[in-house]
Amino acid sequence: MYRWEITRAALAQGVFAIVRSATYDEASATADTLLSAGITSLEISLTTPFALEAVTTLTRELGDDAVIGAGTVLDAASARMAVDAGARFLVSPSLDAEVIRTGHRYGVPVFPGVSTPTEMVRALELGADALKLFPASAHSPSWLRDVLAALPQAPVLPTCGVTVDSAPEWIAAGAVAVGMGAELSEGDRDTVAKRAAELLARLAEVATEPPHAGAPGRYAG
């Protein structure tokens, strides 16, 4: 698959899950719960012990049924290791040119972290496939709407602090998708399944509404 195809698949639901756990077993269980709940795109944070092994296992077992990426990719070395492990996309809390170059060298999309319009423009200049707005808790949907009025070409992914209630507001403001960690995965399997079903239904509903001025809407490749 080409980078744009992977990006579109990773963001198709309007949400990608973030798995950040204290142990490999906990990460595997969380990923299984999210995937069983209907989430089709998730990243395993490299802060998780044996994260790359988890990426390899999930990618091998799921094939094209889900898009598995690596998160908290901070440098070229970890980017290359994540690609070798089978990560389909790379996510970072920061903007590092070498991470983007490494991912692109091997056909893997990269979503670097940004927090200002200046960083957004720089990331676009470096060829970023989408922009992780981090932390989203430091901003608001209205802030994003204002920024996108000037930068409608920026595919933004608010992450950290996004909830089931606020996710539709971010999408309505022009975000192409949101990243959610514990806000989505906390609780037992039934709780997560109900939360995921509600989230996906609400995101699907807002995605069918006409975008606001300055809001580019869902990523379409």
Q: Which residues of 16-35 are buried (b: 16+ CB within 10 A; e: fewer)?
A: bbbbbbeebeebbebbebbb
* CA-based torsion, 172, 177, 181, 187: positive or negative: positive
Instruction: Give the chain's count of helices (H) and strands (E).
Output: 10, 9
CB of 80 closer than 8 Å to CB of 102: yes
- DSSP designation for 210: P
* CA-based torsion, 192, 197, 203, 207: positive or negative: positive
Q: How far apart are CA 20 and CA 186, in angstroms?
A: 11
Q: How far apart are CA 86 and CA 88, in angstroms?
A: 6
Just list the catalytic residues. Answer: 43, 132
Q: How far apart are CA 178 and CA 144, in angstroms?
A: 13
Count how many Cα atoms sit within 13 Å of the Cα of residue 184 in the half-sphere of its side chain: 31
